[in-house]
A and B are shown apart, each in its own frame.
Chain A
């Protein structure tokens, strides 16, 4: 008899989490590089657009007043690439526990700064997806939902890893 089914709840949550969070992370990273300026050709214009987009994102990071200009610039120039790579790794499912833990940690960090800004009534843009998006209660709720999904996915990923795989388990 199979010890677990591919359709059990934890496995389904892990799959959903991978697809939703992986997709969101890839899109969030791409959007920060590609918006608001979306020019693909010629090469110097593409380069300028990406540079302008990252400068704008750096300004949005700095507007949270958590990091100085140097720290904000560093975050702005690394985070989009980290998001894309982590999103792709989540989607592949390879070493899921490691990447799920990292995604959860990053999302907890996002939720912390977003909640802080909301409670301080900071009139700023969220900086989440490249385009201007005012930070509101909805932003906090959305981030909290993603954190919840990431944490549940991570916990289930660890639990599922301890169980034998349903297709390779002895009958």
Chain B
């Protein structure tokens, strides 16, 4: 399952807070679903791309979840000030932040984001959040804030189908 998301998008925050956490606990941790975060920063959001870079840089340290959590939980603050760096720094040690800041500036990070955007376009992703579920050769793109109950029923139906 691929989640095309934008850290500055309120609907993505809603999906993260209400659905993805439960999904993680009940399907990802138990090994039923393999979830991949995909960056899809929208042009209308001034700080989406820089936030995506910090996410990527933290992922290089194996600490993506921490960035995801702090950026979504404080979205309304940093989208006003643009202080993505300060928001991320609040949950990392100075040593980690030094590494993250260095990685943020590398072309590889930008290239990875562009790769995700290009991949999203192949699935006709036009809005965030969009979840793309792959199962037995079939692809199901689902846009918008999917409630956990609906997703849970859908996944169970899918997993039980032969």
Contact = CB atoms under 8 A, between A and B. Distances in A.
Q: Is the interface of B mostly helix, strand, loop or mixed?
A: mixed
A45 interface: yes
Interface residues of B, number: 18
B153 interface: yes
Nearest to B129: A56
Given A44-B154, A48-B153, A48-B154, A55 B147 contact: yes
A59 B145 contact: yes
A49 interface: yes
Given A45-B140, A59-B145, A52 B11 contact: no
Nearest to B147: A55
Interface in A10-56: 36-37, 39, 44-45, 48-49, 51-53, 55-56
Contacts of A55: 144-147, 150
A104 B141 CA distance: 37
Contacts, number: 52
Nearest to B127: A132
A154 interface: no
Interface of A: 36-37, 39, 44-45, 48-49, 51-53, 55-56, 58-59, 63, 124, 131-132, 134
